[in-house]
Amino acid sequence: MSRDMNSIRYNQNIVNPKSGGGITAMLAITNGTIIDGLGGDPRTAMTLLIEDERITALGRQGEIAIPRGTQVIDAMGGSILPGLIDTHVHFALEYPDVLRGLLTPPSLRLLQTIPRMRATLDAGVTTVRDAGGAPAGLKMAVEQGIIPGPRMQVAISLISQTGGHGDGFYPCCADIGFFGISFTDMPNGVADGIDEVRKAVREILRAGADWIKLATTGGVLSTSDAPTSSQLTVEEIATAVYEAAAQEKRCMAHAQGTQGIKNALQAGVASIEHGVYLTNELIDMMLSQGTYLVPTLIAPISVVQFSQAHPDLLPPMMATKAVGVIEAHKKSFRMAVEAGVKIAMGTDSGVGLHGENGKELQLMAE
């Protein structure tokens, strides 16, 4: 435990390997500062008793009887709070290094997700929505206790029009897939027209997706578009929303530019990812429809930092696009917060480093 909320660490000593990664039968955490996540003031000098992975008692130090044989961890005044949720990560990515991706076999790329998931747990994040790149098997491996990781919901693939944000075409070598990821159980999401979108949604759901992700605008890291460009028609997006709803699933939209955000909202998506160029009209639509905004404020900042540290690994136009969206991004987020739009924290981890999820909360608080 740490006194700094932004440095909360997952305590390995709690885990019992024989139980598939679960918590030991009886655990007491003493001398902690409880933040219950319900809006109340932090409570100091608290003891938490956990039995079979469930909290069974909570009270002031000395008020809780600790049974003999219980594992005891002294939090040393550190914060104890519910696990955090990051609604936008990419475990199969770590920085936009296309060349490294091309030289990495799919089997190695999958194994590389293990320390990234561990780092995410260490950051206090216990549930994530992987927004593209992670196959359903990764989620299953966590559920079965094969590898440690947060609870996962997965989008698997990104549905994109030809030449859109999710089209992996590069002039050097045609199609390299979604940022170089080519797992065999990851359907190709490039689709044009209602029928192709319908089939893509069905294939991605068949592969085990919990969410359908659509690129309704260009982006910072795509090579042939601008963040403001509109992609997919309202009819195409609405088809995806309908097909997902038919299987009791929802859609999320990578949407940065104004028109692409509007198209996604008109079609009925559940969440807007990034939302760089919001307007009062779009905010009113989000309020009336109950749409969530997942701002990912740290994403373009991470791209700029990466380009400065590794100027030879990132095309200059990507860094230029990242610099160009930062201030508008912050302004749109403030507008949404002040208007009362529902906000969910998402980092776009994979564009930046994994395990630094708390930095997004810092940016949101600023």
230 with 341, same domain?
yes
Give the DSSP letter of residue 164: S
pLDDT for 180 equals 62
Among 23, 45, 80, give the residue marking a domain's end: 80
Question: How far is CA 52 from each of CA 16, 21, 55, 115, 335, rounded to the nearest angstrom?
Answer: 11, 12, 8, 26, 44
Two tokens, residue 347? 């980092």
194 with 259, same domain?
yes
pLDDT for 1 equals 34
160 with 308, same domain?
yes
123 with 75, same domain?
no
pTM of the model: 0.88
81: CB partners within 8 A, 6+ apart: 5, 8, 34, 35, 36, 37, 124
Look at phi and psi of residue 177 and say left if phi exceeds 0, alpha if psi is from -120 to 50, else beta.
left
Say which CATH number the domain at 71 has: 2.30.40.10
CB 61 within 8 A of CB 32: no
Q: What is the DSSP string of 52-99?
A: TTEEEEEEETTTS---TT-EEEE-TT-EE-PPEEEEEE-TT-SS--HH
Cα Rg of the chain (Å, integer): 21
Say which CATH number the domain at 305 has: 3.20.20.140
38 with 113, same domain?
no
pLDDT truncated to tens, each residue of the chain (366 aa)? 333 333 333 343 343 333 344 455 799 999 999 998 888 899 999 999 999 888 999 999 889 899 999 999 999 999 999 999 999 999 999 876 666 777 888 899 899 999 999 999 999 999 999 999 999 999 999 999 999 999 999 999 999 999 999 887 766 665 666 666 677 889 999 999 999 999 999 999 999 999 999 999 999 998 889 999 999 999 999 999 999 999 999 999 999 999 999 999 999 999 999 999 999 999 999 999 999 999 999 999 999 999 999 888 888 999 999 999 999 999 999 999 999 999 999 999 999 999 999 999 999 999
pLDDT for 185 equals 87
Two tokens, residue 238? 């609405």
Expressed as residue numbers, the domain containing 175 is 84-365
208: CB partners within 8 A, 6+ apart: 135, 136, 137, 139, 140, 154, 156, 185
CA 121 to chain CA centroid, Å, is 13
337 with 266, same domain?
yes
51 with 108, same domain?
no
Number of domains in the chain: 2
Q: What are the two backbone dihedrals, phi and then psi, of residue 31, each rounded to the nearest 5 degrees?
A: 55, 45
Burial class (CB in 10 A: 0-12, 13-18, 19+), 243: buried
231 with 258, same domain?
yes
Using DSSP's 3-state secondary structure scheme, residue 344 falls into: coil
236 with 307, same domain?
yes
Question: How far is CA 112 from each of CA 107, 144, 155, rounded to the nearest angstrom?
Answer: 9, 19, 19
117 with 54, same domain?
no
75 with 216, same domain?
no
Give the dihedral sign, CA 300/301/302/307: positive
Angstrom distance (rounded) from CA 162 to CA 251: 19
pLDDT for 313 equals 83
Buried/exposed code over 23-37 (b: 16+ C-beta within 10 A; e: otherwise): bbebbbbbbbbbbee
pLDDT for 17 equals 32
61: CB partners within 8 A, 6+ apart: 30, 31, 45, 46, 47
CB 252 within 8 A of CB 131: yes
Among 41, 65, 80, give the residue marking a domain's end: 80
pLDDT for 5 equals 33
pLDDT for 52 equals 86
147 with 163, same domain?
yes
Question: How far is CA 266 from each of CA 6, 236, 253, 261, 299, rounded to the nearest angstrom?
Answer: 37, 11, 12, 9, 26
Which residues are bridge partners to 272 per DSSP?
253, 293
Among 80, 101, 117, give the residue marking a domain's end: 80
